[in-house]
Amino acid sequence: MTDDADESSADSGPEREMVQLARRLRQDFDRIQMEHEFAIDEMLTKVSILRREFQHLHRYNPIEHVTSRVKSPSSTLKKAARLGIDPTPEAIRERIRDIAGVRITCSFIADTYRVLEALTSQTDVRVINVKDYIAEPKPNGYKSLHALIEIPVFLSTGAVNVAVELQVRTIAMDFWASLEHKIHYKYDGDVPAGLVTSLTAAARAAQILDEHMEQLHREVRGLDTDTVDDEMRVDEQTLLQLWKMARANADDTAPDA
């Protein structure tokens, strides 16, 4: 009876350790997931403020669309296993830097640089690296701005710096990248040479479209400059009139010396 109990206890020890390890891993990955979701929230708030500022001060919003994603715990674990990374929170945070991603789609090429600069120049944003695939496209024609940044997420236990992958591209670039991704997925990366050639030609066509649309945009904005200035002058005149009325009212109600 005692021997059986000892054997049962010995067998349950490793099982109990495995259960505890699995529970700890789940808790760790739940926390990592939560931190990156909060980092996305922080970035989307920054982008929202930027959009409203541009619209309010410049009468123009350079940001067309914003999308975001956080890798699922299973995807993160699969990537860790593929790269031989220890499944610990420290190793995951240090070596897998694309768990959180934000993609910003702009109208024009100049806007992509403007938006990226506005976001990465903020004092609580640490830029790890920037890759300019617009100035230097990939061989297949892919164009986009990529920035790997860190932003602080403030939790009850203190601040945690979380990596976010930021992509900024034009509408034409985004459309091309979406099509290219679908084709690569369909052919499992082994895309026929004819399609590769067509994709490269389409990337060039997208670039020409971006350049033409930006030229048109500059011409239209140039024509609208006087209109915007007139609107601003009207606002200034109204404010000046209100200020004069306030001064006159203050003089009327002031006590005699």
The tens digit of pLDDT for each residue in 81-95 reads 899 998 788 898 889
Mean pLDDT score of the chain, rounded to an integer? 84
Residue 234 pLDDT exceeds 50: no
> Which residues are catalytically annotated?
165
Report which of residues 195 and 23 the model is more confident about.
195
The tens digit of pLDDT for each residue in 178-190 reads 989 898 888 887 8
pLDDT of the residue at 244: 67
Percentage of the chain beyond pLDDT 90 is 44
Type of residue numbered 218: R
Query: Which run of H or of E encompasses 128?
Result: strand 126-132
Q: Which residues contact 64 (CB under 8 A, 6 or more apart)?
A: 105, 106, 107, 171
